[in-house]
Amino acid sequence: MKALTNWRYYILLIIAGIATLGIFSVPDDNLSMIDWMKCLLISKAIGVSAFLAYIKLIKIWEKRNLIPELSNLIKEDE
């Protein structure tokens, strides 16, 4: 129950959603080839950046023991 009140989990959920949308999104087919490639590269860069931010936040918050439920879950899987 304590995990529901920890705002850090909600931040991680939002960042994971942004990463998923960025990685799996595809631009509209009605764009010119150059615009299509720009949109594709920008969306993938946003997705990868969000994923890297997600990983970095997990590592920082684990070191400070601010997300103990997630840390325990990760340790159980290892």
Has residue 77 got a pLDDT over 90?
Answer: no
Tell me the pLDDT tens digit for each residue of 38-76. Answer: 999 999 999 999 999 999 999 999 999 998 888 787 777
- pTM, two decimal places: 0.85
**What is the CA 16 to chain-centroid distance, rounded?**
3
Q: Taking the C-alpha atoms of 63, 69, 73 and 78 in order, what is their torsion angle to the nearest 10 degrees?
A: 30
